[in-house]
Each structure stands twice: as C-alpha cells, then as structure tokens.
Amino acid sequence: MPDLSAFPITHKWPATQPERLQLYSLPTPNGVKVSIMLEEIGLPYEPHLVSFDSNDQLSAEFLSLSPNNKIPAILDPNGPDGQALELFESGAILLYLADKTGQLLPQDSAARYQTIQWLMWQMGGVGPMFGQVGFFHKFAGKDYEDKRPRDRYIEEAKRLLGVLDQRLQGREWVMGDAYSIADIAIFPWVRNLIGFYGAGVLVEFERFANVQRVLERFLARPAVVRGLGIPRRD
C-alpha cells in the first residue's frame, strides 16, 4: 500500500485509497476535463473536492501541489518509474493520462500532434475567452456600464465557435472518427458558455450547427454524464 503522507496535500485531504490516483478538483469546465477523462479510461481514482467557498485553493496544502492555486491537480502514486507524480494544469494532466493508458490520443505521430494542437487551442483560446464572456455577462462584469469589454469577448467567442464549427464539418469529433482528449478539453467549455453562463443568445449559438451536433453527442456519453458531477459538491 503506497504511503502518501510525505505529500502535504494529503494532510488536508487524506487518501482513503492511497493506491489510487488522487484527484483534487471542482466540477468547473477545467475540473471536469480530468474527471471525464478518468471515467472514460477507467483508471481507478479517488476524488477530493477543493471548495472555492472556503478558499481551499489558497491553502498551503493545495499550493504544495498546485502553486498556481488552480484546479484540477492530481497525485498519482503509480507515476513514471514507479515514483509518485504530482501534476497540475488540466491540459498537462490529460496528456499524462492519455500517455499512461495509451487511450484517447493517437499513436501516429502526425495525428498525435494535431490532437495536441486542438488541446492547446482550447487552453489558449476557448477557456480564457469563454471565461471572460462569463465574467462580463454573468458575474461582476455585468454591472460595468461600458459594454465594450463584454462585446469584445463575445465577438472572439463567436469567432472561436466558427473555427470549431468549420473543423467539425463532415467529422464526428474534432479529430474525425476518433474521440480524443481534444473533445474532452473543448466541449465542457462550450457547455458552460451556453448553460451556466447563459450566453447562447449573445454568441448566436444557433448559427453553429456542427458544434451543437457534437456537443449533444458528447453530453450523451455515459462517462461524460458521470464526470460532470465529480467531485460531488456537498
């Protein structure tokens, strides 16, 4: 049985199943990327809720694992060379889990890098831009009298949805017939934009028929349904 007591994060979130990968997260778009991935690949794991309401993400224990104070983060007791591995950043975790299990990332070098490019596209564009739409439409930014910042991010969100819609033309998934980490990275953010943020009308989501089609297929996957609720909020 692995001993994880040397890792400070386990002092705040004790591992009841230390032989399993430990997930520290919250069901946000970035957080559910990893829970969905873990559900898809069938790797045993133990989830721990990092509550923003109590500023868990700023605790010394969480910062010892994720110095950028963002979820998700993992502690894998069965990392490379038999050593425990700490990892933060959702994109890096998706790549690690894909490589660890040989799933949801093509083995062919060209297709592998093309999948990674769409993962990076989500991380560099979709996440930050859709998040800004949420801030200016749903949260504190909605009270700003000057609507130019909001409108700027709305237009960029529309542009990104257009890029994705074009990519999905004639394809089942981002990479064609094969479901991959690119889909797991992108579609939780699309769901959040039109759902939790309530920005579907603002971004004219009805224009993007291919995105709608693939989002529906994504949300129908049993592993996605399960992963969207993990870690469970109390």
What the block records as the tokens of 101 is 């299990």
pTM comes to 0.97
Q: Domains in the chain, start-ordered, CATH in brackets?
A: 9-103 (3.40.30.10), 109-223 (1.20.1050.10)
Low pLDDT (below 50) residues in the chain: none
Q: What is the Cβ-side half-sphere exposure of residue 22, based on CA atoms within 13 angstroms?
A: 30
Predicted pLDDT of residue 233? 84
Sheet of 85-88, strands arranged across: 45-49, 21-25, 73-76, 85-88
What the block records as the tokens of 111 is 């297709």
